[in-house]
Amino acid sequence: DQQVKQNSPSLSVQEGRISILNCDYTNSMFDYFLWYKKYPAEGPTFLISISSIKDKNEDGRFTVFLNKSAKHLSLHIVPSQPGDSAVYFCAAILNYGGSQGNLIFGKGTKLSVKP
Amino acid sequence: EAQVTQNPRYLITVTGKKLTVTCSQNMNHEYMSWYRQDPGLGLRQIYYSMNVEVTDKGDVPEGYKVSRKEKRNFPLILESPSPNQTSLYFCASSARGARKGDTQYFGPGTRLTVL
């Protein structure tokens, strides 16, 4: 049973517009969420994170929103740039027994930003 | 330069032949982890380690072993590889764990094919 779901395998956006990547989760024990970006032939790189006690975190062009009641988070990229074209993974950490290491990823969304 | 290195980068082997994929980080990080990436399944955590001599199972530990005898190294061992372990493997490390904004640095990946 997939606990972190990214239901859109791909997303295409025009340069300069907003990209919105969505992520849903099922386990209410998740208390920390992260977004990673991955280019082909490279390892993922950390993008932005949010604790479950917050509903928004911003870092430059990237903002993550968390709706705990809906078990939903989203990543907004404004404005989108062609260099943002990559696969984006949503990930969650389980706060179960104090574990800080069990990281569960979604399947990823491939973002294409067209010039 | 801060980095996570993996060796080998590419490996083709046969069923049942024991192999080890090495992972090393030069950042004195406590936390290290192994993931596999498969089409349509995203990234799945195999094992992680919060510190020397401390390892825990991730989501898909079956068929794998790890050890953490020293801080910088976290080898992944496949005692008897099978074709369903054909995948792209990533090692990662972070200072204290996957949460609290600790950036998790990923290695470049090891593409393993088991015939």
Q: Is A41 left (phi over 0), alpha (psi -120 to 50) or beta?
A: left
pLDDT at residue A85 above 80?
yes
pLDDT at residue A24 above 90?
yes
Q: Provide mean pLDDT across the span B72-80.
A: 97
- Candidates A65, A64, A109; CA nearest to A86 is A109
Give which of A32, A39, A46 to mutate to test B binding, by max B Cβ within 10 Å.
Answer: A46
What's the gap in Å between the CA of A76 and the closest CA on chain B? 18
pLDDT at residue A4 above 90?
yes
Average per-residue pLDDT for chain B: 92
CB neighbours of A71 closer than 8 A, spacing ≥ 6?
A24, A25, A26, A28
Angstrom distance (rounded) from CA B22 to CA A53: 37
How long, in residues, is chain B?
Answer: 115
Strand runs labelled E in A16-85: 19-25, 30-38, 45-51, 56-59, 62-67, 72-77
Look at residue A115 in the predicted model and tell me its pLDDT. Answer: 92
More confident residue, A29 or A55: A55
Sign of the torsion angle spanned by Cα atoms A53, A78, A108, B54: negative
* A41 pLDDT tier (thresholds 50, 70, 90): confident
* A109 pLDDT tier (thresholds 50, 70, 90): very high
* A96 pLDDT tier (thresholds 50, 70, 90): low
Q: Tokens standing for B11? A: 């490996």
Give which of A103, A104, A109 to mutate to test B binding, by max B Cβ within 10 Å.
Answer: A103
Look at residue B95 in the predicted model and tell me its pLDDT. Answer: 86
pLDDT at residue B14 above 80?
yes
**Contact A43/B90, CB-based, under 8 Å?**
yes
What's the gap in Å between the CA of B86 and the closest CA on chain A? 16
Q: Give the residue carrying structure tokens 């290491």.
A: A101
Between strands B87-94 and B10-13, the pairing is: unpaired
Look at residue B103 in the predicted model and tell me its pLDDT. Answer: 75
Find chain B residues with C-beta within 8 A of A42's C-beta: 108-109
Q: Provide mean pLDDT across the span A80-97.
A: 88
Q: Where is average pLDDT lowest: B46-55, B75-84, B98-107?
A: B98-107
Find chain A residues with C-beta within 8 A of B45's C-beta: 102-105
pLDDT at residue A6 above 60?
yes
* A97 pLDDT tier (thresholds 50, 70, 90): low
Q: Provide mean pLDDT across the span B37-51.
A: 90
